[in-house]
Amino acid sequence: MAALLVVCFAALALVRPYLWQWSSDVPRVRVLHWGEMLGRVTGLSDRFLPAALVDSAEAIVTAEVRRGAFPGATLAAGRLDHAVLESGIGRIGWGKDALLADADETLYDLASLTKVVATTAAVMALVDDGRMRLDDPVSRYLPTFTGQGREKVTIRHLLTHTSGMSPGAVVRGDTPGERLRWWIANARIYDPPGTKVVYSDGGFMVLGVAVAAAAGMSEGAYLKRRVYGPLGMEHTRFEPGKACKECAPTLSLKDGTPFRGETNDPLSRKFGGRTGNAGLFSTAHDVGRFAAMIANGGELDGVRVLKAATVREFTRAQPGAGTRALGWEMFCREGTVPDAKGCKTPYAYGHTGFTGTSLWIDVRRGVWVALLTNRTFNPRASNHLQAVRRRIFNVLTATPPLPSEARDTVETAR
């Protein structure tokens, strides 16, 4: 009988993932993937995540929606190249008229998660394609990025936040283009490159422009052709626009109108809203596709997107960079570590975003989890998102709690 059920579920999955939807005080929509269906029927969990862990992770998010921490969220999880869960919990706004959160359809402002899903991914592809080298000076791609020590800054420095640049950026000029050009030619270097980790949005804005110069097209266009297209990430794009009804709002304007479809990051907005540090929007389904490709060594569904060696290089702790990999943040067994010492025993890498987004991948087993929320949209309860992210990750990976001193990516980062 069990074998017959397995065959039936598998046949159904070939047509469309099995959809569960039920109503309660917190509405939920779950896409049950064939891997989880097999696991629930057969009890197999070697390649997939045990159903009890998946249910527990979803329950953690549901409890936060019920508490009022955010109106809704989407959650995607899996192991290596297999997606196990895609779930929408709650709604994109407060009130019963708001659209249901949907892992396939709801677009969230990724905020600083843009740094890995967009800019770091683009650098990885450019390195693969021989168009960019990690230890090249940034001035090779941006000739005006020279003077006052800027010529010593490399692509690696920007990725590890060791460029010596400030956390933000100085705004000079009347248009986004003028402001970017001024910033590239005048950004101040406060510390010798490679000596100190200072999380820098301004640095990643410079990196985004360097990506476009190396690619010969905009960062978004290059990513669509080189990464998002091959992965089938059909909903991922920079700033969909104010008319985007599927976009979860991130704040309310003075007249009460929900602000959606444009980046929540005020610095990115001043520079055009499509920058290397923020501005990307995506769904849990698409971010899950990206995570599965990375966790599986650069390949998904038989399509090689990135070289396995490139993925390994970018996701290992970098010497002298504290908890930083190349673009990615590391979770270390020893907790927070001094910049000069570095992370000796990493067990996860990922990134977070100010709006309530995150992506983490387990180093040992390749378990990955993407959580997208709009926690900045008129929250009705206190923010416990750092703890929530850790609890979900610990549940899905069956990992003991993180060291108490461990911290996610800079919480104020957007």
The whole-number pLDDT of residue 14 equals 42
pLDDT tens digits, one per residue of 133-190: 999 999 999 999 999 999 999 999 999 999 999 999 999 999 999 999 999 999 999 9
Q: What is the DSSP string of 321-375?
A: STTB-SSSEEEETT-S--TTT--SSEEEEEEEETTTEEEEEETTT-EEEEEEE-T
For β-strands 28-32 and 82-90, DSSP reports them as antiparallel
pLDDT tens digits, one per residue of 177-203: 999 999 999 999 999 999 999 999 999
The whole-number pLDDT of residue 369 equals 97
Mean pLDDT, the chain, integer:
89
Cβ contact 233:289 at 8 Å: yes
pLDDT category of residue 33 using cuts at 50, 70 and 90:
low
For β-strands 72-79 and 367-373, DSSP reports them as antiparallel
- Rounded Cα gap, residues 177 and 217, in angstroms: 15
The whole-number pLDDT of residue 42 equals 47
The whole-number pLDDT of residue 35 equals 52
Would you list the domain boundaries of the chain? 1-73
Q: Using CA of residue 334, residue 338, residue 343, residue 349, what is the dihedral sign?
A: positive
The whole-number pLDDT of residue 344 equals 77
Mean pLDDT across 11-28: 55
What pTM does this model have? 0.90
- Rounded Cα gap, residues 296 and 80, in angstroms: 5
Higher-scoring residue by pLDDT: 222, 47: 222
Q: Is the predicted pLDDT of residue 333 greater than 70, yes or no? A: yes
The whole-number pLDDT of residue 342 equals 74
The whole-number pLDDT of residue 5 equals 46
The whole-number pLDDT of residue 10 equals 46
